[in-house]
């Protein structure tokens, strides 16, 4: 019997592919499967701290932006759990990350086309498009959607440090600091580092006495979440950004860093208030030492401690600290998963070796066959700072779903702009010459 190829196979079942699976749920004429290596759904389990908040609206869930009546929305989750009225009455400025993680798990468990405990070992080419090799079997697919998430990044100087005392913040809740830790250093200047500092300050019954917070940023800067900056998280901006030359996109990404990687003002306010009370009134608990503008360049084991060396950007002085443990809030990196190695040579690259991804999130393909390869969270350089964020995952899933279905099932066209990123609508647009300025009245 000839095998019938799948129309779509998803590799990874984190939030991004989960959004695509949720939109395609119920499409009886579409053969789709999604494979996830983890045995159960998990979303950043090491950082689901009790007070951690989502940095985006709960309406930017898996489906609502393009399918507001879907049974897989966050509002449907609240109703199914009998929480709708209490959630409204609570009047959250932002919801707990734990609740959003539970919503994602709830959706994952409702989708029969999503299989957990099924790692994809490799992808090869075949006459139908792609062959996806699992542990015990393989399936063919005309189209692939790759959304395997990001991997924690450790600095070179941390690569050989003992993991029981120096680890990435993604493992924070999955580990326990040794009982002899009195002095801990937290390295990093983003949201995760602030959340870790807050949690450590709350450990009043531990032996922890000092917390050092080192960041290479010159201040503990806030996330820019003002209205016009939030326009960068809209389809209109993504379409504008994608059409720009590569060098201009790279320049803009550097300028917009704090639109996606700052600390929420609410977290900064709470942290400052805790520090104020600890400094002036509370005799108990660990003391925090805030050290911005420090470039950590070396760490050496010293018995059961570490000697940490950092260069002060303001003074140029090299400083030395002794600590018992290190928590590294040093970010994540997206990369093509290893299972794509057999076909990676057929993916077109830009001047920096990054995959070229078109406006529909399809990798530009230089190889044989008609198979389509969609990449999620692998094209910040093509689609802008919203690419790794939750903000546009439903819209992006809608774009891919429309392409897979071959028809505009979901509304993904950019709405009329409040901000004219490109040329303004007018009867005539004057294009500046080398010596003529243009003004719009």
User: Is it the case that residue 433 has pLDDT exceeding 70?
Assistant: no
Q: Is residue 236 part of a domain?
A: no
pLDDT at 436: 42
- What mean pLDDT comes out for the span 244-252? 96
Give me the percent of the chain exceeding a pLDDT of 70: 95
**Are 367 and 345 part of one and the same domain?**
yes
Among 193, 219, 199, residue whose Cα is nearest residue 286: 199
**Are 380 and 401 part of one and the same domain?**
yes
**Are 320 and 368 part of one and the same domain?**
no
Q: Is the dihedral of CA 338, 343, 348, 353 positive or negative?
A: positive
**Are 181 and 319 part of one and the same domain?**
yes
Report the C-alpha gap between 261 and 191 in whole angstroms. Answer: 7
Report the C-alpha gap between 400 and 26 in whole angstroms. Answer: 16
Whole-number Cα distances in Å, 191 to 7, 167, 263, 289, 362: 39, 17, 4, 17, 31
**Helix (H) and strand (E) counts in the chain:** 12, 18
Q: Is residue 169 part of a domain?
A: yes
**Are 32 and 60 part of one and the same domain?**
yes
Beta bridge partners of 320: 309
User: Is it the case that residue 299 has pLDDT exceeding 70?
Assistant: yes
Show which of 328, 351, 370 is a domain's final residue: 328
Report the C-alpha gap between 44 and 105 in whole angstroms. Answer: 12
**Are 315 and 167 part of one and the same domain?**
yes
Tally of domains within the chain: 2
Q: Is residue 128 part of a domain?
A: yes
User: Is it the case that residue 423 has pLDDT exceeding 90?
Assistant: no
Per-residue tokens: 63: 């489906």
Per-residue tokens: 313: 């950007």
Show which of 304, 328, 352 is a domain's final residue: 328
**Are 138 and 173 part of one and the same domain?**
no
The residues, any chain, with a CB within 8 Å of residue 15's CB and separated by 6 or more, are 43, 62, 104, 390, 393
- What mean pLDDT comes out for the span 179-198? 96
Q: What is the mean pLDDT of the chain?
A: 93
Q: Is residue 90 part of a domain?
A: yes
pLDDT at 243: 95
Query: 91, exposed or middle or buried, with CB in 10 Å at 0-12, 13-18, 19+?
Result: exposed
pLDDT at 424: 59
Report the C-alpha gap between 342 and 131 in whole angstroms. Answer: 11
- What mean pLDDT comes out for the span 14-28? 97
Residue 380: pLDDT band with limits 50, 70, 90: very high
Residue 122: pLDDT band with limits 50, 70, 90: very high
Q: Is residue 435 part of a domain?
A: no
pLDDT at 437: 44
User: Is it the case that residue 348 has pLDDT exceeding 70?
Assistant: yes
pLDDT, tens digit (0-9, with 9 covering 90-100), for 384-420: 999 999 999 999 999 999 999 999 999 999 777 788 8
| Domain CATH code at residue 95 | 3.50.50.60
Per-residue tokens: 31: 């053969």
**Are 33 and 97 part of one and the same domain?**
yes
pLDDT at 440: 37
**Are 59 and 177 part of one and the same domain?**
no
**Are 192 and 319 part of one and the same domain?**
yes
SS3 of 225-266: the string is CCHHHHHHHCHHHHHHHHCCCHHHHHHHHHHCHHHHCCECHH
User: Is it the case that residue 206 has pLDDT exceeding 90?
Assistant: no
User: Is it the case that residue 193 has pLDDT exceeding 90?
Assistant: yes
**Are 339 and 296 part of one and the same domain?**
no
Report the C-alpha gap between 85 and 212 in whole angstroms. Answer: 42
User: Is it the case that residue 26 has pLDDT exceeding 60?
Assistant: yes
**Are 204 and 145 part of one and the same domain?**
no
Report the C-alpha gap between 265 and 273 in whole angstroms. Answer: 12
- What mean pLDDT comes out for the span 132-145? 97
Q: Is the dihedral of CA 314, 315, 318, 321 positive or negative?
A: negative
Residue 222: pLDDT band with limits 50, 70, 90: very high
* Cβ proximity of 288 and 299 under 8 Å: no
Give me the percent of the chain exceeding a pLDDT of 90: 85
The residues, any chain, with a CB within 8 Å of residue 103's CB and separated by 6 or more, are 61, 74, 77
* Cβ proximity of 166 and 306 under 8 Å: yes
pLDDT, tens digit (0-9, with 9 covering 90-100), for 58-74: 999 999 999 999 999 99
Beta bridge partners of 302: 305
Q: Is residue 251 part of a domain?
A: no
User: Is it the case that residue 362 has pLDDT exceeding 70?
Assistant: yes
User: Is it the case that residue 376 has pLDDT exceeding 80?
Assistant: yes
Whose structure tokens read 């924690």? 152
Q: Residue 106: give the domain boundaries.
A: 8-150+334-405
């Amino acid at each position: 019997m000839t095998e019938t190829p799948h129309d779509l196979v998803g590799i990874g079942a984190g939030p991004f592919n989960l959004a695509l699976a949720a939109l395609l749920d119920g499409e009886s004429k579409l053969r789709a499967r999604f494979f996830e290596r983890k045995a159960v759904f998990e979303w950043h389990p090491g950082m689901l701290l009790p007070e951690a908040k989502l940095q985006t609206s709960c309406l930017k869930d898996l489906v609502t932006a393009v399918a507001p009546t879907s049974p897989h929305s966050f509002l449907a989750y609240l109703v199914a759990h009998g929480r709708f009225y209490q959630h409204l009455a609570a009047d959250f400025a932002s919801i707990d990350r734990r609740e959003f993680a539970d919503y994602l798990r709830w959706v994952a468990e409702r989708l029969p086309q999503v299989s957990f405990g099924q790692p994809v070992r490799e992808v090869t080419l075949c006459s139908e498009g792609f062959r996806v090799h699992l542990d015990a079997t393989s399936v063919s697919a005309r189209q692939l959607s790759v959304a395997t998430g990001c991997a924690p990044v450790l600095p070179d100087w941390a690569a050989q440090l003992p993991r029981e005392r120096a680890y990435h913040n993604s493992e924070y809740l999955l580990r326990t600091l040794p009982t002899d830790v009195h002095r801990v250093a937290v390295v990093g200047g983003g949201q995760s580092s602030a959340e870790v500092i807050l949690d450590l300050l709350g450990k009043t019954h531990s032996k922890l006495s000092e917390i050092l917070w080192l960041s290479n940023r010159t201040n503990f800067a806030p996330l820019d979440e003002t209205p016009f900056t939030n326009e960068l998280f809209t389809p209109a901006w993504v379409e504008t950004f994608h059409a720009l030359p590569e060098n201009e996109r790279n320049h803009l990404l550097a300028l917009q860093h704090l639109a996606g990687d700052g600390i929420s003002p609410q977290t900064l306010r709470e942290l400052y208030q805790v520090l104020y009370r600890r400094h002036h009134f509370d005799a108990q608990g660990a003391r925090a030492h805030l050290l911005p503008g420090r470039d950590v360049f070396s760490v050496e084991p010293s018995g059961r401690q570490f000697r940490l060396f950092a260069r002060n950007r303001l003074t140029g002085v090299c400083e030395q600290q002794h600590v018992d443990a290190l928590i590294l809030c040093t970010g994540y990196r997206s990369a093509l998963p290893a299972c794509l190695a057999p076909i990676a040579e057929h993916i077109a690259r830009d001047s920096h070796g990054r995959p070229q991804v078109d406006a529909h999130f399809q990798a530009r393909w230089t190889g044989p066959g008609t198979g389509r390869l969609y990449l999620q969270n692998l094209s910040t350089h093509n689609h802008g700072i919203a690419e790794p964020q939750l903000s546009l995952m439903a819209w992006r899933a809608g774009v891919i779903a429309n392409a897979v279905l071959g028809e505009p099932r979901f509304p993904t066209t950019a709405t009329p702009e409040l901000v004219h990123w490109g040329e303004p609508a007018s009867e005539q647009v004057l294009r500046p010459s080398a010596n003529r300025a243009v003004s719009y009245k």
